[in-house]
Structure 1
Amino acid sequence: MTRTTELPTGGLLRFATAGSVDDGKSTLVGRLLHDSKSVLADQLEAVERASAGRGQEAPDLALLTDGLRAEREQGITIDVAYRYFATPRRRFILADTPGHVQYTRNMVTGASTADLTVILVDARHGVVEQTRRHAAIAALLRVPQVVLAVNKMDLVGYREPVFATIVAEFTAYAAELGIPAVTAIPISALAGDNVVEPSAVMDWYGGSTVLEHLETVPVGQGPAHRRARLPVQYVIRPRTAAHPDYRGYAGQVAAGAFRVGEPVTVLPSGRTTRISAIDLLGRRVAVAGAGQSVTVLLEDDIDVSRGDLIVPTADAPPTTQEIEATVCHVADEALTVGHRVLLKHGTRTVKAIVEDIPSRLTLDDLTLHPHSGRLVANDIGRVRIRTAEPLPVDSYADSRRTGSFILIDPGDGTTLTAGMVGASFADPGPADGAADPAEDAGWDF
């Protein structure tokens, strides 16, 4: 089969790794960093010393991401390990997430901002329960791209039928979840086959290596996420002699683009005006797009404060005090009906109460348990929340940024739950191919 490589697309790619325990996630990440020359000499020396101290002849590349002592001692990943690296083609932010069931919430954290998820499968074991769980979470979080990396092909003799069987089973399950496409790559993270360099022993595979795919996969190409949204982070009033009347509203454009002269509405008040100017990095611009931190000036002197949302008047979302959502509970304390919480949406935080928890989802077979009434750590379920003040919320299928929120314990500030407005497997959302790479769900656990 002839190998083909797409032209590089550039930009920033956020991606997460997921899979069952011992599938080799950390080794894959370590191999990516090592073979792409993204590891500093002193880091590699430290890994070599640690590996020798454990009686290993070769460096254990998994130690490049398993940074906690408990992880090194147990040989498992516990926390989400973030790494930043770049190649001549693209910049990357990767999240190596845990494989244990009890750390499902950590996988949600890592995948909530990802443009792509790499799900690993051990070629000896095939698709297992945790593989299905992580695929379901990727679908629920609307991660635009999914890569199936069938690892440890060296332990099954690099046989193509083994790879083909696993791919067929996984893609069938992904289709049930509403995942539009899966890219499958046979690899050996330990030996380096098809990670950065093509495998010399799997000549039956003619696709890209993992790194080639990461470098060339398109991001930000779909028609969705065009609804312009600017959560106001800060009101700027310099009060200087040069700018005595300056009043700007600063924040990061969550989605879409804003233009000078465009009619806009400030929510939740509903007041309307026009954009008179946009400041970006100390200069005036005519247009500001998703991911850019800007200061917007308005024609009229209206009341705008932190937590408000500036939107195009022609595309303003409705405000509501009743929110139905799918949530992942991340705290050890259970979430129950009647629970009084703080709800943080964008830059706005309001009081809220959990009115109902009608169901809990079993990710293994996608069945719902009705009348749940409570969620414990790592549970995913449906909730109905009433807020003390109206909020302008989008559907999570339309925007991962303005369609998400977190619930906070008002007593100690602990994050309790991460929520996705209206999200469910029955509503897979637009298959637009990719999300905006600058768009960030913003779940800071």
Structure 2
Amino acid sequence: MVDYTKHIQKAEEAARRRNYDFAIQLYQQLLEIDPDVGAARAGLRRALKARHEKKKGSRFLGMIKGAGPLAAAKTLAKAGKHNAAAKQLESYLTTNPMDEEANLLLGICLESGGHTHSALAVFEFLTEVAPRNPEGLKRAGAMMRVNGDPVRALEYYERALEADPRDRDAIKARKDLSAEAALSRSRFDEVKHSREQIVDKEEAVRLEKSQRRHQSEGDLRQELERLETSFADDPSNVDSMLAMADILEKLRDPEAATDLVQRALSYRKGSADLAERLGRLQVKGLRKAIARADKAGDEQEADRLEAQLRELELVETRRRLELTPGDATLRLSLGRVLLSQGKYDEAAAELQKAVADPRQADSAHMALAQCFQEKGFLDLARSEYEKALTGHPGVDETAREILYNLGVIAEAEGNSAEARSFYARIFEVDIGYKDVSAKMERLK
């Protein structure tokens, strides 16, 4: 089984930096290779949702743009072509990520195509955005059961019955799962039998809670209180500082976590791991502050914090690159940060180094093309876009962006026929992409 952990971490990092387009592209590329990577499918849902919330675009316009793929998906699903339908639904959800019906149909198509991990990821996302949708809750429960977790499956069916107490399917599933869940808990107890050797029962309970993958807020606050008491007796204990920082981060308080990691770093000067963690927390804290400013309608403060965030991202990327100068992924990241700040010459210098790594070449050529295009060097931009396009034989999201920009360059050079040929390749697969339809009409 192929391990996609590093690829997913790369996409998650892009999403954390609010580079949602890049994160989405990475998740989509991974799902092209293996449609049943649940973590990638879940990450794609989160990234699409975050981008949608950031842009706050018109829902109506999004529906118009995605009308073609949605209609095609429904036709394909009826014909039993589940994998093809899933691809069309993902295309539609790119601009309409919160559509309950489309998400539900996507999950059903993935399930029918045998992609149970991806189906579970979609159904779980649906239960987050539509917590009172009984069909979504039942489907999540069914997939959780298929994936071997009857306890959590039962929880979803219980929620489905809260939404619709008369749902017969949910009632039957709850009855069947109650026995399975009880047996699962019994087996868990047998595996954990060694805990009986722990004399202190409170410690056993605490250990169990700390080992759970998903701890409740109450559990986290209880553990934080215990650590704070211990820390008061030994205020120079770095392990306690970091343990408290872990919990505060889970409680979505990056500012408090930052203070503790900063203090820990003062005791462990020169620790690269702590320095990296501190930078990551500072970025999180700034993003949270930006969100607060946006919510309060303080655009001036949000802009100030945004500029501060960009500068911090630049400093952090450079710091990490100094530690591993041969890391082409970081080199590419630095180039992209510089590009986003309008520092095109510096960005191009970094990206020209990144293209040497075959794993990053396509993305680096793409970013380098954008640098040259911004500087007005259209011949160089065209060359880099063409190199980037070779890595995308199909017309995926990245290919569409490349073809669109090649069309823009051709128009700028006065070559209308060539421009139309680039736009036509997009038009054939996605009539709603940007203003391609209008350009096709204008360039008849």
Band of TM-score, shorter chain: under 0.3
Q: TM-score, normalised by structure 1?
A: 0.24
Structure with the greater relative contact order (CA < 8 A, sep ≥ 6): 1 or 2? 1
Q: TM-score, normalised by structure 2?
A: 0.24
Q: Which has the higher strand share?
A: 1
Higher CA-based Rg: 2
